[in-house]
Amino acid sequence: MKLEPTAEQKALLVEAACQVRRWSYSPYSHYPVGAALLTTSGKVYDGVNVENASFPLANCAERTAIFKAVSQGEKDFLAIAVVTENAGSPCGACRQVMAEFGLDTLVIIADSAGKIRLETTVAELLPGAFTPADLPH
């Protein structure tokens, strides 16, 4: 059975994602995104979107947070908060990366004022996800 984050943990994740948005490097889209990822060990990893003049080389906040966690040995996630000005939803690439680490991870989407607009799971955001289980062993 998957652990559920507490209401306090959810609020702290949203606040962390709101705060980290200020470090976004988004000179092209002018759409700063902050993310905060809670692992089962209780650690929080944050991330921002980092754009590039060669647009396809940009990286989203969600993937930045996930890659930071994985680079520190963490692969079990409880929840991720994503904050944008208008509570935008994670892109397809981010959804696929999140699916790699657990379809039941809670995804909290909030606006820049910290108001939660949606709580869902990776599975609900990416039905029919391609996962490691789909690969031949």
Distance CA 14, CA 8 (A): 10
Q: Are 67 and 93 in contact (CB under 8 A)?
A: no
Please identify which of the residues 4, 8, 15, 62 carries the catalytic annotation. 62
Q: Is 4 a catalytic residue?
A: no
Q: What are phi and psi of 47, to 5 degrees?
A: -160, 160
Distance CA 70, CA 102 (A): 13
Distance CA 132, CA 137 (A): 9
Q: Are 66 and 97 in contact (CB under 8 A)?
A: yes
Active-site amino acid positions: 62
